[in-house]
């Protein structure tokens, strides 16, 4: 099984994202387009990234220095916990205020205040949990 945020894992995550209509369709309704990176909070660069166009992932893989709209970081243990049990709205708020999840790029405040973005963001953690990892 691929490691979390590895090239292969990101491709599988992108496919799982696209298979989850509650995620892609919800973001398509607001014309969501972004490049989102994921990684560990003690590393200089993210490990993986996805490119989302009109709610659906069109590119996924290892981070290659592309310009980002979002860069999400957390410890490996926290990512694993969220992959196993999801995060929920309250959990996300606690994780953000306690520094367990960091937005190196992106506006957490604007996202969380917009239900059309916040709900799919929470759903993306559930989708992460469906992707096998080592």
Q: Give, for all 134 residues of the chain, the pLDDT tens digit.
A: 689 999 999 999 999 999 998 899 999 999 999 999 999 999 999 999 999 999 999 999 999 999 999 999 999 999 999 999 989 999 999 999 999 999 999 999 888 888 899 999 999 999 999 999 87
pTM attached to this predicted model: 0.94
The beta-strand segments (E) located in 22-65 are 34-40, 48-53, 56-62
* 48-53, strands of its sheet edge to edge: 56-62, 48-53, 34-40, 70-74, 101-105
Look at domain 7-130 and name its CATH class: alpha beta
If phi > 0 it is left, if psi is from -120 to 50 it is alpha, else beta; for residue 94 that is alpha
């Amino acid at each position: 099984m691929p490691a979390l945020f590895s090239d292969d894992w990101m491709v599988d995550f992108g496919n799982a994202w696209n298979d989850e209509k509650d995620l892609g369709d919800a973001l398509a309704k607001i014309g969501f387009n972004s490049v989102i990176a994921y990684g560990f909070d003690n590393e200089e660069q993210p490990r993986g990234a996805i490119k989302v166009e009109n709610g659906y992932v069109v590119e996924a893989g290892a981070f290659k220095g592309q310009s980002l709209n979002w860069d999400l970081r957390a410890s490996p243990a926290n990512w694993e916990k969220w992959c196993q049990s999801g995060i929920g709205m309250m959990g996300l708020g606690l994780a953000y205020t306690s520094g367990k999840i960091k937005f190196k790029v992106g506006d957490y405040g604007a996202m969380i205040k917009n239900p059309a973005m916040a709900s799919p963001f929470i759903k993306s953690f559930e989708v992460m949990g469906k992707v096998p990892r080592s």
